[in-house]
Amino acid sequence: MAKSEKLKINVGCYSCQKIDNCFLCVYINDFVKKFRNYNSDEFLIVITGLKSFIHKDEKVITYLFEQLKENNITIALEGNEESINQIDITCKNITKDTSYNFKYQIQNLITIVELSSKIDIPPVGVIIMKIVAQIISKLKILYKAIVLDLDDTLWKGTLSEVGIYNIREYMYSEEGAPFIEFMKFLKVLGNELGVFITICSRNDSKMIESTIEEFDDNIFPLKNQIDYIIANNNDKSENIRMIAEQLSILPSSIVFIDDNQIVRDEVKRKLTGVFVPEWENHNELVTKLIAGCIFERVELSLNSQNRRKQYKIIQAERKQNFLPKLSVKVIDDNKHTESIKLYSKSNQFKFSRNDDNLNDNTKSLYFEIIRENGENLGICSAITFSNTYDTFHIHNWAISCRYFEIGLEEFILLYIQKMADTNTILINHQPSEYNQKVSEMLAKYSDAFKNNGKKDSMEIIFTKEIVDNINNNTNLRII
């Protein structure tokens, strides 16, 4: 990228102008700082093996370290190795006084070098960014969906002006190649990482559907890959809110991609949590998403790969029956492993911010949804509790966003009642701006949740009337 292009991209961003690197700006502002909206712990990351490879006059790396430290992530470098193929990492959570070790394997170095050449950050800086991103992604998946414009974003031309025939001709031409390559990238994100792929367009919805149906996947690789389409003349910020609600995710979990600067500005102004990248071509856009670690994951996961499929199945079950008849399997989580994973990833339905500080006196259970044909749709919820002679104390309870409002909340309330028997039931509750689904449930069953006068805690009361009401709102059954 030429110097003049960089300066053009960087207009309006003080951080970019300071270091002349918009890619690092995206990484800090839209990844690292976004993580800080969910987690305020202080971290010390000790990296052994890279010290000799960092030159003192590397301004970009110095700036990277400064920005990480401003966000309570301190990088400490140890060791003076002359050659390395794996890097020893110690991640210390200073706030919680915990730590863990792992190894970062340097593989496919030429890919790191290629990315380095595009974003003007030394390869060792790219490696450090990826190490920090792995640690963050282990604690929190930040972005779960992409909302896409169509005209001049996914295909060349304006559908309502030039028509299907000309759009097809554009896509088969050399001009269409960048659009096709971009869609192939999105398709893999969806299939391998479980990222939701949606469309928000100002075209006529029937025209969109007929166009996509007529195109083959050679020129429209996202055919049969789109999870939700919304098309109208509303502000796109309003439509993005609707998409988030449809997918049961927060708007802040969305990346919005549109070629129109006016539309981008409108979404940025009205939905500040949505990541709206600035871009002039698809190559630059993909590079920003990769360099910014926007869709970083620590592992390939079958559960993630199946996420979109599970979403579609649940939607189909809802259409057949507003409260679908599904089964729930309850599993002991002896080491809290699956529960901690769900607590760290959940926002909209999670009672406590205590994700992983669980003591030996607590017990965890997780729940899996099973269809009538025996298909396992994965982990849907988890609870952690302790039980004394007179008190059943729930320390945390979370539900995966894929399973809201199918009767799961009610099923688990009834399961809690069964486990507690006649004991007093207390549940930790720490309200947050993200916990909208918890707030909705508390309002729905306000007669069951009572303030007990204790901070961050409330009592659950089950009368016959309350139990009957809850029973009427679920068709789930235990295996």
Rounded CA-CA distance 457/334 in Å is 25
Average pLDDT taken over every residue of the chain: 91
Is the pLDDT at 2 greater than 60? The verdict is no
**What pLDDT does residue 56 have?**
76
State the sign of the Cα–Cα–Cα–Cα dihedral 469, 475, 476, 479: positive
Residues 224 and 187 in one domain: yes
Residues 261 and 332 in one domain: no
What does the pLDDT average to over 88-94?
Answer: 96
Q: Determine the 3-state secondary structure of 415 from DSSP.
A: helix
Q: Which of these three, 139, 167, 199, is where a domain ends?
A: 139
Which two three-digit tokens encode residue 217?
Answer: 């996947």
Angle (deg, nearest 10), helices 205-214 and 159-172: 20
Is the pLDDT at 389 greater than 60? The verdict is yes
Residues 247 and 126 in one domain: no
Q: Determine the 3-state secondary structure of 277 from DSSP.
A: coil
- CB contact at 8 A, 6 and 18: no
User: Residue 144 CA to chain centroid, in angstroms?
Assistant: 4
Structural domain contains residue 295 = no
Residues 211 and 337 in one domain: no
Q: Determine the 3-state secondary structure of 6 from DSSP.
A: helix
DSSP-H helix ranges across 346-404: none
What does the pLDDT average to over 241-269?
Answer: 96
Bridge partner residues of 408 (DSSP) = none
**What pLDDT does residue 434 have?**
84
DSSP string spanning 121-160? --HHHHHHHHHHHHHHHHH-----EEEE--BTTTBSS-HH
- CB contact at 8 A, 324 and 349: no
pLDDT per position as a tens digit, 446-459 = 999 998 878 889 99
- Percent of residues, the chain, with pLDDT higher than 70: 96
With the CA atoms of 263, 264, 268 and 271 taken in that order, what torsion angle do they form, in degrees rounded to the nearest 10?
Answer: 60
The total of other beta-carbon atoms located within 10 Å of residue 389's CB is 5
Residues 378 and 324 in one domain: yes
Q: How confident is the model at residue 16 (pLDDT cuts 50, 70, 90)?
A: low
Is the pLDDT at 418 greater than 90? The verdict is yes
Rounded CA-CA distance 129/360 in Å is 35
- β-pairing verdict for 228-231 and 363-370: unpaired
What does the pLDDT average to over 435-441?
Answer: 92
Residues 454 and 335 in one domain: yes
What does the pLDDT average to over 258-276?
Answer: 97
Residues 37 and 88 in one domain: yes
Rounded CA-CA distance 37/39 in Å is 6
Residues 8 and 39 in one domain: yes
- CB contact at 8 A, 397 and 351: yes
Of the candidates 421, 416, 411, 378, the residue with the CA atom closest to the CA atom of residue 396: 416
Structural domain contains residue 282 = no
**What pLDDT does residue 18 have?**
60
Structural domain contains residue 296 = no
Structural domain contains residue 279 = no
Q: Which of these three, 95, 113, 139, is where a domain ends?
A: 139
Structural domain contains residue 58 = yes
The contacts of residue 204 (CB under 8 Å, 6+ apart) are 160, 231
- CB contact at 8 A, 210 and 204: no
- CB contact at 8 A, 90 and 45: yes
- Where b means 16+ CB within 10 Å and e means fewer, 12-38 reads eeebbeebebbbbbbbbbbbbebbeeb
Query: Which of 42-46, 321-325, 424-428 comes out lowest in average pLDDT?
Result: 321-325
Is the pLDDT at 347 greater than 80? The verdict is yes
pLDDT per position as a tens digit, 31-61 = 999 999 989 999 999 999 999 898 877 899 9
Q: How confident is the model at residue 419 (pLDDT cuts 50, 70, 90)?
A: very high
The total domain count for the chain is: 3
Residues 360 and 247 in one domain: no
- CB contact at 8 A, 284 and 347: no
The helix or strand, by DSSP H or E, that contains position 99, with its residue range, turns out to be: strand 98-105
pLDDT per position as a tens digit, 275-286 = 999 999 999 999
Residues 151 and 242 in one domain: yes
- CB contact at 8 A, 311 and 400: no
The CATH number linked to 265 is 3.40.50.1000
**What pLDDT does residue 82 have?**
83
pTM confidence score: 0.88
Q: How confident is the model at residue 19 (pLDDT cuts 50, 70, 90)?
A: low
Structural domain contains residue 397 = yes
Is the pLDDT at 3 greater than 70? The verdict is no
Rounded CA-CA distance 116/319 in Å is 48
Structural domain containing residue 365: 306-478
Residues 329 and 407 in one domain: yes
**What pLDDT does residue 305 have?**
83
Structural domain contains residue 195 = yes
- Cα distances (angstroms) measured from residue 300 to each of 293, 303, 320, 339, 376: 15, 9, 32, 19, 19
**What pLDDT does residue 315 have?**
85
Identify which of 335-349, 351-365, 460-474 has the greatest average pLDDT: 460-474
DSSP string spanning 430-473? ---TT-HHHHHHHHHTTTTEEE-SSTTEEEE---HHHHHHHHTT
Of the candidates 381, 378, 479, the residue with the CA atom closest to the CA atom of residue 438: 381
More reliable by pLDDT, 307 or 122: 122
Residues 150 and 267 in one domain: yes
Is the pLDDT at 472 greater than 80? The verdict is yes
Structural domain contains residue 57 = yes
Residue in the block written with tokens 């166009």: 211
Q: How confident is the model at residue 314 (pLDDT cuts 50, 70, 90)?
A: confident
Rounded CA-CA distance 118/290 in Å is 11
Amino acid letter, residue 37: N
